[in-house]
């Protein structure tokens, strides 16, 4: 089973999942490997033990309940957008690429009637954190089949795809989701998930 286990005040222990580079090359896979989550490793994305030297506080604060219990729904023409703000990594794909529908300075910030259902579903599928999801009235929930992979994004979180199971340090699994963004800067207030803190602290990583 593809699994990422959060270790107490330490790295992510990964098994059954590939670590890939932006160019598509495989960096690790087929064996257990450990990814930095304190943000301080000199061997990013891999852990080099820096978390112990700096006294990293990796306390997990993310809600462990199902997304359905938190998401707000926005109805459009043949499509419903589901938005779980607690999972947003504030990467801006939605607001940059489909601003008619997603506008952060507007209240409500989502106008599900401002574009066609197909365009909305396509854009929602690009949300790397899984904060956004969509249901088409005629076809049901829309979710591409994605491989079990981890992609370290430049200066940002780990993009995890393929319903990889993330398990808390105390052994409690989070709800398996097809798209997830895990913190790797060490500063998120929603650990283990990214909340965009990498922007404000100037985190850099290749």
User: What does DSSP say about strands 33-35 and 79-83: parallel, antiparallel, or unpaired?
Assistant: unpaired
Sheet holding 132-136, edge to edge: 72-75, 79-83, 132-136, 140-142
Query: Mean pLDDT for the chain?
Result: 95
What span, in angstroms and rounded, lies between the C-alpha atoms of 60 and 38? 13
Out of 142, 160, 183, a domain closes at: 142
Find the domain containing 101 and state its range.
68-142
CATH code, 104: 3.30.70
Q: Considering the domain boundaries, does residue 187 fall inside one?
A: yes
Do 112 and 125 belong to one domain? yes
CATH code, 36: 3.40.5.90
Each residue's pLDDT tens digit, 25-69: 899 987 899 999 999 999 999 999 999 999 999 999 999 999 999
What span, in angstroms and rounded, lies between the C-alpha atoms of 192 and 111? 30
Q: Cβ atoms within 10 A of the Cβ of 132, count?
A: 25
pTM above 0.85, yes or no: yes
Do 123 and 74 belong to one domain? yes
- Give the total number of structural domains in the chain: 2
pLDDT of residue 90: 95
Each residue's pLDDT tens digit, 123-147: 999 999 999 999 998 877 888 889 9
């Amino acid at each position: 089973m593809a699994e990422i286990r959060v270790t107490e005040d330490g790295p992510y222990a990964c098994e059954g999942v590939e670590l890939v580079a932006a160019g598509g090359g495989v960096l690790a896979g087929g064996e257990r490997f450990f990814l930095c989550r304190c943000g301080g490793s000199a061997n990013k994305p891999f852990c080099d033990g820096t978390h112990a030297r700096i006294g990293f506080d990796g306390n997990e604060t993310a809600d462990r309940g199902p997304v359905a219990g938190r998401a707000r729904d926005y109805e459009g023409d043949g499509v419903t957008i589901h938005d779980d703000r607690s999972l947003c990594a504030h990467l801006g794909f939605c607001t940059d690429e489909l601003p008619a529908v997603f506008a952060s300075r507007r209240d409500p910030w989502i106008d599900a009637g401002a574009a066609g259902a197909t365009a909305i579903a396509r854009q929602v599928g690009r949300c790397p954190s899984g904060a956004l999801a969509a249901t088409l009235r005629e076809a049901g929930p829309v979710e591409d089949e994605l491989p079990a992979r981890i992609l370290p994004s430049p200066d940002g979180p780990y993009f995890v795809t393929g319903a990889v199971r993330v398990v808390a340090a105390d052994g409690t699994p989070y709800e398996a989701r097809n798209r997830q963004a895990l913190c790797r800067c060490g500063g998120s207030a929603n650990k283990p998930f990214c909340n965009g803190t990498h922007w404000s602290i100037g985190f850099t990583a290749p």
